[in-house]
Structure 1
Amino acid sequence: MLSAPVRLSFLTASLICLGALAAACSLQRWAYLPPCPLCNVQRALLAAIAVVSLIAALHAPARRGARAYALGNLGLCLLGAGSALRQLWLQAHLDPAQALDFLNAEHVFTPSTGYAAAKVYVLGTPDCGIVNWSLLGLTLPEWSLLSFCMLGALAIYPLFRR
């Protein structure tokens, strides 16, 4: 049986993910900020962490099961942090004029093959480097990185709890 503090940490992680997803969808809907491919990856990873955490909180496994759930969440958090770091790198190193030229081009980027789509969702596109919103001086990928770090800390807790 899972202890109450560990169960609460999984439930907290699930609520943090749902809050972050609600904020992202609200920004998309009311601030007209369409998500780029890396934003979509981060949203999918947040949703996966929410599902794994909710299942862990409801399942309430023994210590070994809780550690398995925590390792799964930690892996998803590392992938999300990597995606957010890639987007931050694009924002720091991409020329904004290059991104705007790409977006205003006559062609629309639609990957037709699986390899091209996977490459886009791993490496991003020039529009991933555009900074179009910030809160308290932090851009969306910085908030996303902060969320994945907090969720990673919550995932580490069950691993070291006796």
Structure 2
Amino acid sequence: MSFVKFSPRICFFLGFAACASLLGIGAYLQFVEELEPCPLCISQRLAILATGVIFLMAGLHSRGRKVYAVCSAVAALIGASVSARHVWLQHLPPEEVPECSPGLEYVFQHFPLADTIKLMLTGTGECAKIDWTLLGLSIPAWTLFAFILLAGWACLQFFNDADAV
């Protein structure tokens, strides 16, 4: 019994489709379920977007499979690190949770860019709040799981030498 092997380009397009789906789910949760994203959620969305763009570029190009695989895996692992921090913040005892900050729009308008980026990557008190769960896992936990899968998928393309299907 032989397994069907897909070309790396098709696999990269599948990775892009997964990232687009994740962004669609995020938009649904924000605009339909009215769950406002915190700074770490926005950072995770940016990491999903970056990973998806790399997957898309890899699918469009016929060369550089290994470079694209490494770049997309690195982007996914950066997103996983942000998600891991978010999960960690959500599991802190209430007395150790950092203070809430002003809204992100206010921070962008009145704070230096370096402080804004630091806030988006380290999180604040509102990042510790769990608004929604599925099977006992919060959104950042599911996002961490998705990032790990995306990084694994990208790493598999590093070794994918299928000609075409």
Which category of TM-score, normalised to the shorter sequence, fits these structures?
A: 0.7 to 0.9
* Residue of structure 2 in register with 1:113 after alignment: 112
Alignment TM-score, normalising by the size of structure 1:
0.86
The answer to which structure has the higher helix fraction is 1
Distance 1:97 1:146 in 2: 25
2:69, 2:158 within 8 Å by CA — same for their partners in 1?
yes
Q: 1:18 to 1:96 in 2, by over 3 A?
A: farther
* Residue of structure 2 in register with 1:22 after alignment: 24
2:132, 2:138 within 8 Å by CA — same for their partners in 1?
yes
Alpha-carbon shift at residue 160 of structure 1 (Å): 2.3
Amino acid at match of 1:20: L
Q: 1:59 to 1:128 in 2, by over 3 A?
A: same
2:100, 2:124 within 8 Å by CA — same for their partners in 1?
no
Between the aligned residues of both structures, percent identity stands at: 30
* SS of residue matched to 1:80: helix
Alpha-carbon shift at residue 102 of structure 1 (Å): 3.7
Alpha-carbon shift at residue 94 of structure 1 (Å): 4.7
Distance 2:44 2:95 in 1: 22
CA shift digits 1:6-33 (9 cap, x unpaired): 1121011101101010000000001111
2:76, 2:151 within 8 Å by CA — same for their partners in 1?
yes
Residue 60 in 1 paired to residue 62 in 2?
A: yes
Residue 5 in 1 paired to residue 4 in 2?
A: no
Structure 1, unpaired ranges of 5+: none
Alignment TM-score, normalising by the size of structure 2:
0.84
2:44, 2:82 within 8 Å by CA — same for their partners in 1?
yes
Say what the alpha-carbon RMSD is for the aligned residues: 2.2
* Residue of structure 2 in register with 1:131 after alignment: 130
* SS of residue matched to 1:93: coil
Alpha-carbon shift at residue 119 of structure 1 (Å): 1.2
Alpha-carbon shift at residue 152 of structure 1 (Å): 0.6
CA shift digits 1:118-141 (9 cap, x unpaired): 210111111111001011211100
Structure 2, unpaired ranges of 5+: none
Alpha-carbon shift at residue 96 of structure 1 (Å): 8.0
Q: 1:83 to 1:113 in 2, by over 3 A?
A: same
Distance 1:76 1:108 in 2: 26
Amino acid at match of 2:15: A
Distance 2:17 2:147 in 1: 13
* Residue of structure 2 in register with 1:32 after alignment: 34
